[in-house]
Amino acid sequence: LEKSPGYHKLDARLNYYSADENFVVTLWVRNALDEDQTTSVSNNNFRIQDNGAYQGFNFSLPRTFGVDVQFRY
């Protein structure tokens, strides 16, 4: 049995509001440090004769970033 190690993930958001708050800009980033992380490990029991010999691994997404813009009227 293999265990997925612990990890840290850094996400951030920065908001700008206009004086009348009718205009909002948000800058955001997920996985800012772009760390490769195994998020889970599981046995694949597709065939009984394999006896769980194959494992599946899930990994974190790479760094993503973007801008959100809102107009309120």
Q: What is the pLDDT of residue 59?
A: 84
Mean pLDDT within 19-23: 94
Whether the Cβ atoms of residue 15 and residue 67 lie closer than 8 Å to each other: no
Confidence (pTM): 0.69
Summarize pLDDT for 45-56 with one digit per residue, the tens.
666 666 656 667
Res 64: pLDDT: 96
**pLDDT score, position 50:** 62
Residue 65 has pLDDT above 70, yes or no: yes
1 pLDDT exceeds 60? Answer: no
55: helix, strand or coil? strand
Distance of CA 15 to the CA centre of its chain: 20
Greatest Cα pair distance, the chain, in angstroms, is 67
Q: To 5 degrees, how large is the angle CA 9–CA 56–CA 31?
A: 15
Which amino acid belongs to residue 36? D
